[in-house]
Amino acid sequence: MDTLGELRLAVDDLVVYASHGVGCVANRQQETVVLEFAEGGLSVTLPIKRAVECVRPVSTEAEIASIGRTLGGADTVSQENWQRRLKTTRGKLTGGEAAGLAEVIRDASRRDERASARKEPSRLSLTERHLYLKARKLLADEIGASRGVDPSAADAWIGDQLARNGERDPSRETRGTATSVAPLIETTPRPSGRRARRRRH
């Protein structure tokens, strides 16, 4: 894929730009594309090559169903030390792929649940919890944009999928102090626009 035409991007399309999350195509020129993001009024101008590499359509319903299966499944027990695990997690957030975000959310949830079952403090460091919350927010924003629902409703759906494995949601706790990811998500306006089309092969 080497042109924006192959991505079929058009003005007002909803897209995902790596770790920036869901944005709307505000302008498209021969050499650049402009994306606008609801949060913070951010606007980004990308060269064509960068856009082709880092911009994708929001997930389809079939892809969301696959995400649900990932969230509801068992985690991948990593033998990596915490530094390598953190690097892997950051890589998934930087890439911005929905499947990778779901894995970050699932793995954090499962690790926290195992610690809870042993009546131990959370196994997530403050950095890992921050990355977990960011991944969850990005995924909720994308699912909300795809389904045309508020991100808070999409986040509730994520929680339901996690619960399919009988696991606790670590967004509700931080080392003995109750908290919630909901305010993070509810304050993000739902972007308006239509889903970008994928190229037909």
Whole-number pLDDT of residue 75: 84
Q: What's the chain look like in SS3?
A: CCCHHHHCCCCCEEEEEHHHEEEEEEEECCCEEEEECCHHHCEEEEEHHHHHHHEEECCCHHHHHHHHHHHHCCCCCCCCCHHHHHHHHHHHHHHCCHHHHHHHHHHHHHHHHHHHHCCCCCCCCHHHHHHHHHHHHHHHHHHHHHHCCCHHHHHHHHHHHHHCCCCCCHHHEECCEECCCHHHHHCCCCCCCEECCCCCC
Residue span of the structural domain in which 28 resides = 13-57
Are 32 and 115 found together in one domain?
A: no
Number of domains in the chain: 2
pLDDT at 90 over 90: yes
pLDDT tens per residue, range 2-61: 455 556 788 999 999 998 999 999 999 989 999 999 877 899 999 988 998 999 999 999
Q: Is residue 196 part of a domain?
A: no
Are 20 and 104 found together in one domain? no
CATH of the domain at 160: 1.20.58.1290
Residue-wise pLDDT for 134-180, tens only, equals: 999 999 999 999 999 999 999 999 999 999 874 445 555 444 433 33
192 within a domain of the structure (yes/no): no
Q: 185 or 172, which is more confident?
A: 172
